[in-house]
Structure 1
Amino acid sequence: MPLLALTGGIASGKSTISAMLAAHGAVVVDADAIVRDVQAAGSPVLRSIAEEFGAEVLRPDGSLDRPALGARVFGHPERLAALNALVHPAVRAESARRFAAAFAEDPAAVVVYDVPLLAEARSGDAWDLVVVVHAPAEVRTRRLVEGRGMTEDEARSRIASQASDEERLALADVVIDTDGTMDATRRQVDELWARVGPA
Structure 2
Amino acid sequence: MKIIGLTGGTGSGKGFVSTILKEKGAYIIDADGVAHEIIKKGKPAYTELVAYFGVDILDDSGEIFRKKLGGIVFGDSEKLAFLNQCTHAYIVKEIKEQIANATTENTAKCIIIDAPLLVEAGLDSICDGIWVVFAEEDVRVERIMKRDSISLDMAKARIANQKTWEEYASFATEIIPNMGNVESVMEQIEGLLQKFK
Same fold (TM over 0.5): yes
Deviation at 1:124, TM superposition (A): 4.6
SS at match of 1:125: helix
2-structure distance, mates of 1:166, 1:173 = 13
1-structure distance, mates of 2:24, 2:67 = 35
Contact 1:119/1:168 (8 A) holds in 2: no
Aligned to 1:41: 41
Deviation at 1:166, TM superposition (A): 0.9
Q: Which runs of 5+ in 2 are unaligned?
A: none
1-structure distance, mates of 2:80, 2:29 = 24
2-structure distance, mates of 1:108, 1:146 = 33
Aligned to 1:79: 79
Aligned counterparts, 1:17-96, within 5 A: 17-96=17-96
Deviation at 1:181, TM superposition (A): 1.1
Task: Please report the TM-score for the alignment, with normalisation by the length of structure 1.
Answer: 0.94
Task: Please report the TM-score for the alignment, with normalisation by the length of structure 2.
Answer: 0.95
Q: Give the counterpart letter for 1:6 in structure 2.
A: L
Q: Give the counterpart letter for 2:37 in structure 1.
A: D
Tell me if 1:120 matches 2:120. yes
Contact 2:133/2:178 (8 A) holds in 1: yes
1-structure distance, mates of 2:53, 2:126 = 33
2-structure distance, mates of 1:107, 1:154 = 42
**Counterparts in 2 of 1:147 and 1:45: CA distance versus 1, 3 Å:** closer
Tell me if 1:190 matches 2:190. yes
Deviation at 1:147, TM superposition (A): 3.7
**146-155 or 10-19, larger mean C-alpha shift:** 146-155
**113-122 or 47-56, larger mean C-alpha shift:** 113-122
Q: Which runs of 5+ in 1 are unaligned?
A: none
Q: How many residues align?
A: 197
Aligned counterparts, 1:106-117, within 5 A: 106=106, 109-117=109-117
Q: Give the counterpart letter for 2:170 in structure 1.
A: A
Aligned counterparts, 1:84-163, within 5 A: 84-106=84-106, 109-122=109-122, 124-163=124-163
SS at match of 2:120: helix
Q: Matched residues, percent identical? A: 32
1-structure distance, mates of 2:182, 2:109 = 26
Aligned to 2:8: 8
